[in-house]
Amino acid sequence: MRLRRVNPIKEILRPLGQLLIFVIGSAVIISAFVLLLALLLRPTRTDIDIFQVSLILLPQVLIDGITLGFMYAIIAMGYTMVYGVLEFINFAHGEFVMFGAFAGVELLIWLNAQGVLRTSEIWLALLWLVLAVLLGMSVGGALAVSAERFAYRPLRGTPRLVPLIAAIGVSFLLQDTMRFLQSAINGDFYRTFPEFGPFAQRLTLFSLSIDERPINIAVQYKAILLISFAIIMLVALNYLVNATRLGKAIRSVAQDQRTASLMGIDVNRIIALTFLIGGAMGGAAGVLWTFRFTRADPYMGFIPGLKAFTAAVLGGIGSIVGAMLGGMVLGLLESFAASYFSIFSRGAFGAEYKDIFAFGILILVLIFRPQGLLGGKTTQKA
């Protein structure tokens, strides 16, 4: 089989262009729908101008939705890497996220106890955060490889329901293991991300004036860092899969394990490396998730993991580009639902119902387009 030549620059620039298209396209479509709905409901509201309120909230909702979308996209990458090779949904992936989060947070708590974080300059604070992310990646990757070797590999070749049940069992095992460890060591079930550096400060992007009312649109430095980390990881993964020898081997194993083995590829090694990459991305996502929401607990990976799986299915599970698209769409939809449900329903529904959106979308996609938004077959299968 003749393999196409890969242009490394193209493999770096292409996902950046796709990300830009997804972000702008998703934001424009969802924003237009919300504003149209606000216009239709405007005559029925005499207490407030629902269109004006929607317009005022829109920029900040978009920023929050894009940040959340990148978070879901990173976690979805772990799902899509494993599914692309084994067609196996690893429901323990959320626990790799959780273990990575605890590893990074424990490192930062220890550094804070030594007085290092309180005296850190901006660049040094960023260095500590990067170290926490790298530690989370190491723990998440090691845990994923261990799960593959001892829980999943012995079940390879059995009916698909068997490893799926095993994955659920691994998920519960890891949850209770972390709960036991935290209870025994710290006497509590959760850890709080220490505050350090200028990350909580806000950067004003621009100002608006609506009916002579000034509105400042600002974003936390924390959100900027999260998006930057996410873009770097997404571009790096795309490059790894599509422009390296390891990526070529991963794609070969994904296409046909037996033929890849006959061509001299160590299938077990490639599958283990796939789990390592997916688990590492999950561990990094765990640290960044805790950085964003400040708390790590033994069950923190369950709901984000399910939503990331929803994002992967929404975009087309097994596709790197699909995971990007699905994460972005889901993050924006959830952010819009949390902000506008209460306004449109006159307070009958609130932000607590935003999860209905995520799982309602999963049901609709499975019914009407089970192959995902990007179609059935993709050229960027992980």
Q: Is the pLDDT of residue 229 over 50?
A: yes
Query: pLDDT class for 300, splitting at 50, 70, 90?
Result: very high
Mean pLDDT of 200-210: 75
pLDDT of residue 378: 43
Q: Is the pLDDT of residue 382 over 50?
A: no
Query: pLDDT class for 202, splitting at 50, 70, 90?
Result: confident
Q: Is the pLDDT of residue 315 over 80?
A: yes
Between CA 195 and CA 108 the distance in angstroms is 9
pLDDT of residue 379: 43
Mean pLDDT score across all residues of the chain: 86
Q: Is the pLDDT of residue 292 over 60?
A: yes
Q: Is the pLDDT of residue 119 over 90?
A: no
With H, G, I as helix, E, B as strand and everything else as coil, classify residue 76: helix
* 46-55, 83-92, 148-157: range with highest mean pLDDT: 148-157
Query: pLDDT class for 4, splitting at 50, 70, 90?
Result: low
SS (H, E, C) the chain: CCCCCCCHHHHHHHHHHHHHHHHHHHHHHHHHHHHHHHHHHHHHCCCCCHHHHHHHHHHHHHHHHHHHHHHHHHHHHHHHHHHHHHCCCCCCHHHHHHHHHHHHHHHHHHHHHCCCHHHCCHHHHHHHHHHHHHHHHHHHHHHHHHHHHHHHHHHCCCCCHHHHHHHHHHHHHHHHHHHHHHHHHHCCCCEECCCCCCCCCEEEEEEEEECCEEEEEEEEHHHHHHHHHHHHHHHHHHHHHHHCHHHHHHHHHHHCHHHHHHCCCCHHHHHHHHHHHHHHHHHHHHHHHHHHHCEECCCCCHHHHHHHHHHHHHHCCCEHHHHHHHHHHHHHHHHHHHHHHHHHCCCCCCHHHHHHHHHHHHHHHHHHCCCCCCCCCCCCEC
Q: Is the pLDDT of residue 44 over 70?
A: yes
Q: Is the pLDDT of residue 170 over 90?
A: yes
Q: Is the pLDDT of residue 285 over 60?
A: yes
pLDDT of residue 376: 55
pLDDT tens column, 16-39: 888 888 889 989 998 999 999 888
What's the pTM value of the predicted model, to 2 decimals? 0.89
